[in-house]
Amino acid sequence: YFVIASANDIGIPSFDTPSLIGLLGTYLLVLLSYLIFHRYYYQNTDTQITRLSGALKSKQLQSEILVQSITDGVIVTDNDGNISNMNESAAKLTGWTIDESLGLNVHNIVTFKNDQDEVIPNLENPFDSVITNKQPISGTYNLESRSKSTYAVSCVVSPIST
Reported as a single tens digit per residue, the pLDDT across 84-126 is 999 999 999 999 999 999 999 999 999 999 888 899 988 888 9
Which CA distances in Å does 118 have to 100, 115, 142? Answer: 25, 7, 10
In whole angstroms, what is the distance from residue 4 CA to residue 8 CA? 13
pLDDT of residue 37: 79
Percentage with pLDDT > 90 across the chain? 34
pLDDT of residue 1: 44
62, pLDDT greater than 90: no
Closest among 125, 135, 132 to 155, alpha carbons compared: 125
In whole angstroms, what is the distance from residue 35 CA to residue 45 CA? 15
